[in-house]
Amino acid sequence: MADGAPERKKTGGPSPRMKHLIPGPDSRYSVVKAISQGQVRSMKKPVLAVSLLLSVAIVLPGAAAPGTPGIGDWSAYGHDEGGVRFSPLTQITPANVSGLKPAWVYHMNPAHGQPADPTKPLPWSEQTPLVVKGVMYLGVPYGRVVALDADTGKEIWVYELPPGNQPATRGLAYWPGTNSQPAQIMVGTQLGGKLIALNAKTGKPVEGFADHGILDLKTPDVMNGFPPAGTTLDMVAPPSIYKNLVILNSRVQEQPIKGASGNVRAFDVRTGKLVWTFKTIPGPGEKFHETWEGDSWVKRSGVNIWNMLTVDEKRGIAYLPIGAPAIDRFGGDRHGTNLFSDSLVAVDANTGKYLWHFQVTHHDIWDYDLHTPPTLLEVKRDGKTIPAVAVMNKMAFLFILNRVTGEPLYEVKEEPVPTATNVPNEQPWPTQPVPVKPPPLTRQSFALNEVVTVNKEAHDFCQAWIERDNILPSVRYEPLKANQYMVNIPAAQGGPEWAGGAFDPKRGIYVVNTNDMGYVIRMVERPDGAWGPQNRHFSTDTANTYLCQQPPWGDLTAINVNTGDIVWRQNFGITESLPEGQQNTGRPNTGGPILTASGLIFIGATDDRRFRAYDTMTGKELWTYTLDYAGHATPITYRGKGGKQYVAITATGGTTIGTKAGGDSVMVFALP
């Protein structure tokens, strides 16, 4: 029986013919659907037909739109706008997951199987598909958006983006429409800086949205007087949908200092008209403007949401994970705490009005910003359920906050940190917020006696490098040094990567994958007088990438949000080039987990090309499939039209160190 399908009784109740006309949790629009299909007209009793028609008049005002997702769909990057990444499906279980097999594969490259163009780099993708009502929507790194039959992979429609644009590499957004307007696929674009509205059924641009379906995001209000050509402002992650609003993230430059602003904007999803703007750097006379010394705020770039935001649809609150200022490793020209950089900001999703903020890094000079989407949680304490939001910075600190007030639910200490620096004019902030619970999820420092020993060649390479360049060790939040290399760990790539974690509300478990990677880094003076970083990964140059510190190099961790304690933790990924018995080192990874109601974790992410399933409560690995290329994306699970549960992941490789790019597959799995 399909998950969630009502069991049909043999006696009593409505007849089998009538039962599907009664609205249920999966079919709030089923009466209207029945009438539209002519089923009411075929009934022999006109009185019943009239009654049903009258019921439509009653149901319609409060009814969901025809395109409203069902419980078996995956309609947003995070499954829902709260970023929980939890599916209620239970057909695939810990007991039978070992039987998962490939069901179908879609090749995103239109010229799949033909020789690659040697003059062009091989594309890669971090795309998380969407599935609604049996249709999979996917942006592909060949300038296209496609709709596929989610049971077979057959193309339904293909939309070619305007020249110079690529779909945001991490995904699309879905708006369910209204009774009078069809559902839409919202496509943010890289390179071109556009937002495109497509009819979800036909793939054609929505004529009433902006300029024939295409909105130019490079408008004067965010360009700070800079010309659109040559100024970065685009999207690498999908926007969020709230009611009839599409709330945008944006990618802007990390250097130079001045450029397009990172302001957060909401547009009417039907017309493309601007509804509200939240200024990420307060101007004169605005609250918190004093956190920017002098004119350091003027035309400052950065301070943007370069990844995904989330929305509490019930409370009408949008949670904005805001990044670091440009330049993100130098603060000598911007003394102060620099709000709202490196802050989770809660705003009224209807108006953009500020509600509260929590800054995770004061005066950021390490690029330790908020790069993961916030996750909505429920924390159970003393018999009460507290609405909460979890957010992680690149230090792999997990902050669990009251969703309404912004107050930490577990103690956060302002920890004194090193401030000695030889970078001209730099004034490091003397304290940084460090949560007492949960504990940090990655390595926080490096000592010279911690050089890798799992492989002699790797050890000798790393040790010689340290000695040749006089590389210094480091401790947590130590300022970077001018013209002197040090090991900065975790690196600005982050302990957790951009995908962040997932939450199981049934079990109170938050699951996240992390890296223990470092940079060898120093600050150097630039030609324009500013200071910027020179860095490279703290790893070997050999064909088999070894990190230069002792393992683990990657972890998968489960946290009980009701206590703040770690439930289990294990090395995530294997190093195949090491001898048998020494391979369990953990590996660099990018992409995130999803969870299911049956108690499963699905995750790709690692550079060892594995796609894995784990038991949520124990962390036991239950199923592994070796992909042709690494799955550096967050997977999904969904129910097909026939009731079968599928699991899908994009697998192209190429987005973390040591991995080969060139794949073009979306792999879909199911039980036989």
> Does residue 58 lie within any of the structural domains?
yes
Over pLDDT 90: what percentage of the chain? 84
Q: In 164-286, which residue ranges form alpha helices assigned H by DSSP?
A: 220-223
Tokens read off for 512? 């996240």
pLDDT tier, 406 (very low <50, low <70, confident <90, very high otherwise): very high
> Residue 494: what pLDDT?
86
Range of the domain at 46: 16-62
Report the C-alpha gap between 250 and 245 in whole angstroms: 16
Over pLDDT 70: what percentage of the chain? 89
- Map tokens 């440009």 to a residue: 326
- Map tokens 């790194």 to a residue: 141
Report the chain's mean pLDDT, rounded to a whole number: 90
562-591: pLDDT as tens digits: 999 999 999 999 999 999 999 999 999 999
- The residues, ordered by sequence, that sit 6+ positions from 496 with a Cβ below 8 Å of its Cβ are 371, 372, 392, 394, 396, 441, 442, 512, 513, 514, 515
Q: What is the dihedral of CA 472, 478, 483, 486, to 10 degrees?
A: 30
- The residues, ordered by sequence, that sit 6+ positions from 426 with a Cβ below 8 Å of its Cβ are 330, 331, 332, 365, 479
> Residue 115: what pLDDT?
63
Model confidence at 61: pLDDT above 80: no
**Considering only CA atoms, which of 484, 486, 487, 543 is closest in space to residue 516?**
487
> Does residue 391 lie within any of the structural domains?
no
Q: Residue 37 class from Cβ within 10 Å (0-12 exposed, 13-18 middle, 19+ buried)?
A: exposed
> 101 pairs with which residues across the strands?
670
> Does residue 534 lie within any of the structural domains?
no
Range name among 42-51, 182-191, 489-498, 549-558 with the lowest pLDDT average? 42-51
Q: For residue 438, which amino acid is it?
A: P
Q: In 216-270, which residue ranges form alpha helices assigned H by DSSP?
A: 220-223
Which helix (H) or strand (E) element contains residue 113?
none
Give me the DSSP letters along 289-303.
Answer: GGGS-TTTTTTB-B-
> Does residue 515 lie within any of the structural domains?
no
Phi/psi at 228 (5° precision):
-60, -40
CA neighbours within 13 Å on the CB side: how many for 376? 25
- CA 353 from chain centre, in angstroms, equals 24
> Residue 491: what pLDDT?
87
Tell me the CA end-to-end span of the chain in Å, nearest whole number: 15
25 vs 103, more confident = 103
Which helix (H) or strand (E) element contains residue 89?
none
> Does residue 39 lie within any of the structural domains?
yes
- The residues, ordered by sequence, that sit 6+ positions from 343 with a Cβ below 8 Å of its Cβ are 322, 357, 358, 359, 360, 370
* Length in residues, the chain: 672
> Residue 632: what pLDDT?
95
> How distant, in Å, are the alpha carbons of 80, 429, 497, 639 from that of 636?
12, 41, 18, 10
> Residue 108: what pLDDT?
95
Asked if 392 and 398 count as a contact pair (C-beta separation under 8 A), the reply is yes
Report the C-alpha gap between 501 and 567 in whole angstroms: 15
Tokens read off for 586? 């953990």
Range name among 4-18, 152-166, 410-424, 653-667 with the lowest pLDDT average? 4-18
pLDDT tier, 33 (very low <50, low <70, confident <90, very high otherwise): very low
Q: For residue 391, which amino acid is it?
A: V
pLDDT tier, 53 (very low <50, low <70, confident <90, very high otherwise): very low
> Does residue 634 lie within any of the structural domains?
no
Report the C-alpha gap between 103 and 345 in whole angstroms: 42
**Pairing of β 398-402 and β 184-190:** unpaired
Report the C-alpha gap between 588 and 442 in whole angstroms: 12
- Residue 25: CB atoms within 10 A of its CB come to 9
> Does residue 32 lie within any of the structural domains?
yes
Range name among 120-124, 125-129, 414-418, 465-469 with the lowest pLDDT average? 120-124
Report the C-alpha gap between 110 and 640 in whole angstroms: 25
Phi/psi at 35 (5° precision):
-65, -45
279-336: pLDDT as tens digits: 999 999 999 999 999 999 999 999 999 999 999 999 999 999 999 999 999 999 999 9
- The residues, ordered by sequence, that sit 6+ positions from 516 with a Cβ below 8 Å of its Cβ are 442, 443, 489, 490, 495, 547, 549, 551, 552, 553, 554, 555, 586
Report the C-alpha gap between 190 and 363 in whole angstroms: 29
> Does residue 157 lie within any of the structural domains?
no
- The residues, ordered by sequence, that sit 6+ positions from 215 with a Cβ below 8 Å of its Cβ are 194, 195, 196, 197, 209, 267, 272
Report the domain count for the chain: 1
**Considering only CA atoms, which of 278, 303, 309 is closest in space to residue 374?**
309
pLDDT, average across residues 31-57: 36
> Residue 543: what pLDDT?
64
